[in-house]
């Protein structure tokens, strides 16, 4: 079954027969790592499985790669098999933060592996507001075979590649954090405040309207084209605090018909893991 490859609305998801896609609850709270799991146990979309950002969408055993290091592809493949996923089965991810924590992260992980995936526009709140049913019990999915997966090296960047591209002025580095964090006015999560020198700021919240849903694709396209100033979307590298909310900007660009941008996976928390790396504060320059 063909699903949209960026966003799906609650009515379209509710109309699908059960089993037509794998629904994944990605709710997360940065201040309380287990809040998402507790929320899932209280109520979730029918048939959904739960993805824990720290344990399923990251590998916290890795050092120097930020607060949410990308798991090895073979480890992620094991997680997918535990959820009952098989190649070609569409994934629909949702959360309670407009896709930012952490539905867009799972969406990006699937799409970069060339697998069908979409984010539920408006998330858990939109489903509830529409009056669709919820479940409070978790059904163990049937285990599926583990499939060999590999992250494409041209879509996932680490510090070395970012340094090289900054030196050659080949990439537009965009930071998805809120502007006060980008400027270095506040820093609630990481050990240093500020941003990577040369990075510009595009808070992920700019992608959403007042109703918590993504802005219309045409509106997003106009905003992003203004920001790109004639650059090829493939030159854009997204970052945030740890490589999670940056995926929201990746999703927004894809939804706007501007594919090909990449992720700086370690992001700010990975950048500052080496105290010798430069740090900028204040507004963007240039």
Residues forming the active site: 240
Structure tokens of 16? Answer: 């699908």
10 Å Cβ neighbour count for 216?
A: 12
10 Å Cβ neighbour count for 233?
A: 18
Instruction: Return all residues near 96 (Cβ < 8 A) that are at least 6 apart.
Output: 27, 39, 123, 124, 125
Three-class DSSP category at 167:
helix
- CA separation for the pair 127, 11 (Å, rounded): 8
- CA separation for the pair 110, 71 (Å, rounded): 13
- CA separation for the pair 173, 280 (Å, rounded): 13
């Amino acid at each position: 079954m063909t699903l949209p490859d960026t966003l799906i609305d609650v009515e379209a998801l509710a109309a699908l027969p059960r089993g037509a896609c794998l629904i994944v609850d990605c709710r997360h709270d940065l201040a309380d790592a287990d809040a998402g799991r507790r929320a899932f146990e209280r109520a979730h979309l029918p048939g959904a499985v739960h993805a824990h950002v720290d344990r399923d969408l990251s590998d916290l055993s890795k050092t120097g790669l930020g607060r949410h290091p990308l798991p090895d592809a073979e480890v992620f493949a094991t997680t997918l098999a535990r959820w009952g996923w098989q190649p070609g089965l569409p994934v629909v991810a949702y959360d309670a933060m407009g896709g930012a924590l952490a539905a867009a992260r799972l969406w990006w992980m699937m799409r970069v592996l060339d697998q069908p995936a979409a984010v539920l526009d408006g998330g858990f709140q939109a489903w509830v507001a529409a009056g669709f049913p919820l479940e409070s019990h978790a059904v163990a999915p049937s285990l599926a075979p583990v499939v060999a997966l590999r992250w494409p090296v041209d879509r996932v960047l680490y510090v070395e590649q970012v340094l090289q591209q900054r030196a050659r002025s080949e990439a537009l580095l965009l930071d998805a954090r809120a502007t006060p964090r980008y400027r270095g006015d506040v820093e609630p999560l990481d050990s240093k405040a500020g941003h990577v020198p040369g990075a510009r700021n595009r808070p992920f919240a700019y992608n959403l309207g007042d109703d918590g849903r993504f802005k219309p694709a045409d509106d997003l396209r106009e905003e992003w084209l203004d920001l790109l100033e004639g650059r090829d979307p493939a030159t854009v590298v997204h970052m945030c605090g740890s490589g999670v909310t940056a995926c929201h900007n990746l999703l927004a660009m894809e939804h706007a018909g501007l594919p090909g941008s990449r992720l700086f996976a370690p992001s700010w928390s990975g950048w500052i893991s080496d105290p010798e790396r430069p740090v900028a504060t204040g507004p963007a320059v240039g």
